[in-house]
Amino acid sequence: MWVAKPKPDPELLALFEESARNVQRVALLLRDLLTDYPEQAALARDILLCEQEGDRIAHDILHRLASNGRRRAALDAADVHALTGALDDIVDFAEEAADQLSLYGVEAPMEQAQAVAEVLVTCAEEVAAALRGLRTGAALAPHLFEIHRLENEADRLQRAAVTGLFANGIDPMVLIRWKDIFDTLEAAVDACESVANVLEGIAIKRAQA
């Protein structure tokens, strides 16, 4: 007996796109914060608002999933949870990095941190494009490939920056603080790759359906 394929929930997909736009916004704000810190320190407040907005969207996504009840959905519940969590992680790590600048009393940003933040901005653009593709049925592979490439680039930048901190013999406390910030920035980009990994799994399931 022929069974119709379940159709994607347009409201759920719209919420994912909204989450991706929030990811883009927080990445841009963090880049701007790191470009002109501490003069632009007030941007940390806007980043915090993005983090709160991300929590709201994540709640709405999971509420929408629960409201579908036993109805068949085009996306597995596990994939929805994983995608929601990864998107939320991007914003959480961005907000944590912004908070660390103030917490650690950073007097001026490092160029390497600005470079990682720039990679995060590009990653966020690819995440948003991929989630638009999830709704429209466009190919996801080019965006996912680019996210993986960018994650490797951020990892290279982060390792080079931390190596430089140790090599330059700076104050140990400054070293520890900046290492924490670099690790947090890298974690934000890693979360983008987590989004790509979930979307790869979804794409494979769609192809096999």
Does a structural domain hold residue 1?
no
Residues 6+ apart with CB under 8 A from 136: none
Task: Evaluate whether residue 26 is within a structural domain.
Answer: yes
136 lies in some domain: yes
Residue 5 banded pLDDT, cuts 50, 70, 90: low
Could you tell me if residue 179 is inside a domain?
yes
- pLDDT above 60 for 103: yes
Domain membership flag for residue 57: yes
Q: Is 209 helix (H, G, I), strand (E, B) or coil?
A: coil
Query: What was the pLDDT predicted at 99?
Result: 98
Specify if 5 maps to a domain: no
* Tally of domains in the chain: 1
Q: pLDDT-derived band of residue 69, with 50, 70 and 90 as boundaries?
A: low
More confident residue, 193 or 108: 193
pLDDT tens figures, 116-168: 999 999 999 999 999 999 999 999 999 999 999 999 999 999 999 999 988 87
Average pLDDT on 72-84 reads: 88
Q: What is the CATH number of the domain that holds 52?
A: 1.20.58.220
In a domain, 185, yes or no: yes
Question: Residues 6-31: pLDDT tens digits?
Answer: 677 999 999 999 999 999 999 999 99
CA distance readout (Å), 101 to 31, 185, 200: 13, 12, 34
Give the range of the structural domain holding residue 83, as residue numbers without chain letter. 10-208
Task: Note if the pTM is more than 0.85.
Answer: yes
Q: Is residue 143 part of a domain?
A: yes
In this model, does residue 1 exceed pLDDT 60?
no
Kindly calculate the radius of gyration of the chain based on its CA atoms and give it in whole angstroms: 19
